[in-house]
Amino acid sequence: MSKKSSDWYVPPDVAFLAGFYFIIPAILIASGVLLPLLARFKSGDLVGVFYSALALGAVGTVLLFFARLPLYRKRQFLSFGPGQLSGIHRRLYWVAYLFVVVSILLLVLIWLRLR
């Protein structure tokens, strides 16, 4: 019997439970970080939210650089989308865009609050 990783079979119910154990802590961490930021909108203390949005944007930009690093090494600087990226770099690409989009949304909310 070979022990290649491609020979593994995980039943769908076990895969669901394993994913469930990763999703719940991620939701708890995200709500623990985002809810206090959103509570600051009521109090009017937007400086912390602004710095958080800038930090999220910076982290997203750095992650996007590392996600596209294999393309940069091939000297492909003007390719769009994650189509030419492989496995982990593709996931990192989408996580980077998630950070950037959350940053932009926070900046738009700040702008709307101050208007």
Residue 73: per-residue pLDDT: 83
Residue 93: per-residue pLDDT: 84
What does the DSSP assignment read for 51-90?
HHHHHHHHHHHHHHHHHTHHHHHTT--S--SSTT--HHHH
Q: How would you write the pLDDT of the chain (115 residues) with one tens digit per residue?
A: 555 556 677 777 777 776 667 777 778 877 887 788 777 777 777 888 888 899 999 999 998 888 888 888 888 777 777 777 788 888 888 888 889 998 999 899 889 888 8
Residue 19: per-residue pLDDT: 67
Helix (H, G, I), strand (E, B) or coil at 46: coil
Type of residue at 59: V
Nearest to 19 by CA among 29, 10, 9: 10
Residue 64: per-residue pLDDT: 87
